[in-house]
Amino acid sequence: MGMVVAAAHTATHHGPGPASAVELAARAARGCLSRAGVAPSFVSVLINVGVYRESNTFEPALAALIQKDVGINLDYLVDPEPSAGFSFDLMNGACGVLNAVQLAQSLLDTASADHVLIAAADVHPSGDARRAPDYPYADLAGALLVGRSPDPDAGFGPVSVYSGDGPTDVEGYLDTANMGHDGRSRITVRRTEGHRARLNAFAASCTAEYAREHGIDLHRALVVGPRTGEHVGTGATGADAAPDVNLHAAGEPHTAAPILGYLQALAAPRPKGCDRLLVVTSGAGPSAACVSYRPEGW
């Protein structure tokens, strides 16, 4: 019995007020549950993998705030069934979604959960990425609901995680020595020249290694890579795949990139002979993660 995606959804910031990672993640999560026809009370576990958030908030865990906003079993003593509703943050940058997929597989395999909801949202600490032209990421959220499928040929394969050699050339951090009185609205993102080419090459080598390890024919696989969905909403495929994506959004997707890429892959015509997706992410570390996925009916 494989673990499959029941639904996926994305959300971007719109309106005059500042963006909120909690609000965006909750909106993506509610849209995801609506598409799947699953009530919030049936979500056993919510895993939040977003990194950047308003006012650089790190406590309490944003997962708990997202859980409250979505309404996932807020009082497990009063309403313990069908699920108590547990949530936590898991932060590993660009690879966070696939780390959460790996954890969700264990939860479902051991019958510790029936549905796991993965939320990924990043916003600039000021609440508006457009105010920081050097900040590379879009104010964007994605949500992925996973559960069991009776189809033994459908679902995720094993997740593999890879670590590269040498120092990282991508960093996001709080420069506390220079942030000043408005430091809660600032973030420093450092990416050295040529980082994109190096990460892409690393992701490609990890994808090839994953295919060799698991006997996958790359000619029959559609690779959803780390650059999928870059510059959110600038193409028709992205708009068709994720109708809540604001066409005027600027910047690259970060933690939500695999979710956006998955939606784009399903919206596009399937290449002849293709029988699975290979989702690969790469980011700071340098690190990468890869997983195969066969949608139901493929």
- If pLDDT is split at 50, 70 and 90, which confidence band does 115 have? very high
Distance between CA atoms of 108 and 146, rounded to whole angstroms? 9
Supply the pLDDT for residue 87: 93
Q: What is the pLDDT of residue 100?
A: 97
CA 12/CA 216 separation, integer angstroms: 35
> What is the pLDDT of the chain when averaged over all its residues?
85
Residues in the chain: 298
Q: What is the pLDDT of residue 236?
A: 27
Decide if pLDDT at 198 tops 80: yes
Neighbours of 82 (CB within 10 A): 14
Residue 145 confidence (pLDDT): 97
Q: How far is CA 157 from CA 55, 105, 141, 202, in A?
A: 37, 9, 25, 21
- pTM score of the predicted model: 0.88
Per-residue confidence (pLDDT) for residue 172, from 0 to 100: 82
CA distance 201 to 225: 11
Query: Quick one: 110 exposed, middle or buried, by C-beta within 10 A (0-12, 13-18, 19+)?
Result: exposed
Tens of pLDDT, residue by residue over 147-192, are 998 888 899 999 999 998 877 888 787 777 777 677 777 787 888 8
More confident call, 191 vs 78: 191
Report d(CA 293, CA 249) in Å as an integer: 28
pLDDT at 99: 97
Percent of the chain with pLDDT over 70: 89
Return the pLDDT at 246. 40
More confident residue, 131 or 273: 273
- The candidate with the shortest Cα–Cα distance to 199, out of 289, 125, 72, is 289
**Is residue 80 very low, low, confident or very high in pLDDT (cuts 50, 70, 90)?**
low
Q: What percent of the chain has pLDDT over 90?
A: 50
| Mean pLDDT to the nearest integer, 50-68 | 88
In the chain, the domains with their CATH numbers are 2-152 (3.40.47.10), 160-294 (3.40.47)
* 208 has a pLDDT exceeding 70: yes
Looking at per-residue pLDDT, the higher value among 258 and 194 belongs to: 258
DSSP three-state, residue 91:
coil
Phi-psi region of 261 (alpha: psi -120 to 50; beta: other; left: phi over 0): alpha
pLDDT at 243: 38
Which is more confidently placed, 83 or 138?
138
At 210-261, the pLDDT tens digits run: 999 999 999 999 999 876 655 444 332 333 334 344 434 567 899 999 999 9
By DSSP bridging, strand 115-122 and strand 140-149 are antiparallel
Interval 91-110: pLDDT, tens: 999 999 999 999 999 999 99
What is the per-residue pLDDT for 237?
31
In whole angstroms, what is the distance from residue 106 CA to residue 101 CA? Answer: 9
